[in-house]
Structure formats: C-alpha cells, structure tokens
Structure 1
Amino acid sequence: MSVELPAEEDTVRFGRALGAELAAGDLVLLAGPLGAGKTVLTRGIAEGLGVSGRVSSPTFVIARVHPAGARGVGLVHVDAYRLGGDLSQLDDLDLDSDLERSAVVVEWGEGMAERLSEDHLLVRLERRPDDVRLATFEPHGTWATRLAERV
C-alpha cells in the first residue's frame, strides 16, 4: 500500500493519523534517502501521540525520548544513520525496554532495528522529482492485520 504526500503538511497529517493509532510497544522503521521526509513524518507521529517536546532529527544524539502526553504513550525517536550498521551501538540504546512504555520510531533502521520486534511497520519514503513524497508500507507480524483493518 502506498500514499502520495504532495506537501509537507500532508506528510505531517499522515504522521498524525499514524501516531493516533500507535500504542506502547509499537515499532515503526522509516527508510528513505536524505530529504525524503522521515523527520517530518515523525513530527506528525509525535503530534498524533500527543507527546511533549519539539521533534527534530536526533542525528547527533542518536535518540530522543519524548514523554507521554494525554494518551499515556511516549515516543522514542532514533536516528540510526551514524550507527553505520553497528548493532552493538543499537543494543546500547536499550530500545527493547523502551518498547514496553513507548512507541519507537527508527529512522535509517532498516536492516538493523527489525530484530527489536517481529511486529513492526516499515515505511519507505521517496521524494520524486516533482517534490511529491511517496510513502509505501511494509507491514510485518501483526501489522499486516492492523493495516488491513484500516483499509
């Protein structure tokens, strides 16, 4: 399943809808080149979860924790770009314990973070030459059923 996101606000709006569906324990992996909209999508997810704190790329700090808001679900936003595939550094973040109380979104996590949970949603973002983003979903585990129920 894919969706076109013509403008930044469409990406935020889509993220907001996805965030509204997330629960503690959910893992979302975002894949795509620089400028594809991964952090913008995460900003929308944070709004949908109602978490506290400004969402920005955690490239230099690797992970940011946003405390739970009214819905009671926090957000852990990880940028695995600088990890370069080093799984030991990912383990050092102790994300599997964060999954118990937060939704975890990992930018650049494909090929690394899937092992945190069989149940995860991979969202591939691409930026077309006309500047429209295309989000394609690859559900794994229970996400296949969850997405089918929404479509």
Structure 2
Amino acid sequence: MTTDRTQTLATVHDTEAFGAGLASELSAGDLVILDGPLGAGKTALTRGIGAGLRVQGRITSPTFVIARVHPPGTPDGIGLVHVDAYRLGTTGSDVLADLDALDLDTELDTAVVVVEWGAGVAERLTDRHLLVRLQRNPDGSDPDSDERTVTWGWRASADLT
C-alpha cells in the first residue's frame, strides 16, 4: 500500500520548482506517470524534473511528437524521455502496440521516463512507477488562477488505481 502526499502549488514557477525537487528522488530506470486534465501543469512539472536532472534541450509539450529524448547534461547524468501518451492509439490494443513500438523499456536503463496521460497505459513498462496527479484551480473559485494541487506516490505496476 502506498501513502500519497499532496501539496498545493500557487504558480507555474512553483510547479517547476516542485518538479526540480522531485527529480532529486528519481533515478535512471524510474517511470513517472502524469495524470491530469489539459492545463493542469504536466509539462511545467516535466520542465522542473528536466531542470533538476540537468538534461539537455528545451522541454516543451510533446504535442506534435509522441516522445522526445533529452540526453543527460553531464557525462554521468541521467537522461529524460518525455512521452505524450495522449497521441498514442485510440483503443486499448492500439495504445499498447504504439507504446511497445516506442521501445521505452530500452531507455529505462539510462533515463527517467515521464509519460503524460499515461495512467492506465504505461504502468506495464516497469515493476513500479510514480503516479503524479495534477488538478488546476482545485476549488474552482478563480478560473484564471495558476493554483494547482499535486498528489503523488509510488505504485506497484499491478496497482492501477
């Protein structure tokens, strides 16, 4: 059983800083699954993870590609693979076939793999994963607010909840 942690983040900068802090808890071979609606801060969080890992390249939304590889910024560093599972197939078997075609399991030895929209799909890549759920403007009081709630915890791959 996992114990989830929850934190409220006031700004996009706070979301990136949270991701940078989270990076210090990650190792090559870790899978991070980001879950949340459009605009919840998944890419901002990934930018923070990339900054914390000190990877090369600008981290942007992988909207027009399925996966973007960011090599380590230092010879002994850890890389980052940023995946947009939303772009994968539309049915269960199509999604799994598309995921397999990316060969992400080969990247897991040298990189942290972050999968946006990956809940219910990417868990099968590893024995365990970090599930991070983001919700923007959690109380609904200010639609222009950048405030978001992040909840995260490690899961066994058999635990898809």
Match of 2:111 in 1: 102
Shift of 1:112: 0.3
Match of 1:117 in 2: 126
Normalized against structure 2, the TM-score is what? 0.84
Shift of 1:72: 1.3
Structure 2 distance, partners of 1:53, 1:24, is 18
Cα deviation per residue 1:13-69 (whole Å; 9 max; x = unaligned)?
Answer: 000011122111010000000000000000000000000000001121110000012
The gaps in structure 2 that reach 5 residues or longer are 157-161
Match of 2:87 in 1: 82
Q: Which runs of 4+ in 1 moved over 4 A?
A: none
Q: Given the alignment of the two structures, is residue 133 of structure 1 paired with residue 119 of structure 2, yes or no? A: no
Shift of 1:106: 0.2
Match of 1:46 in 2: 50
Normalized against structure 1, the TM-score is what? 0.89
* Greater radius of gyration (CA): 2
The gaps in structure 1 that reach 5 residues or longer are 142-151
Identity in percent: 60
Higher share of residues assigned helix: 1
Structure 1 distance, partners of 2:15, 2:44, is 7
Instruction: State how many pairs are aligned.
Output: 142
Structure 2 distance, partners of 1:68, 1:138, is 25
Match of 1:15 in 2: 19
Cα deviation per residue 1:112-141 (whole Å; 9 max; x = unaligned)?
Answer: 000011211000000122331100113114
Structure 2 distance, partners of 1:59, 1:118, is 27
**One-letter amino acid of the structure 2 residue matched with residue 59 of structure 1:** T
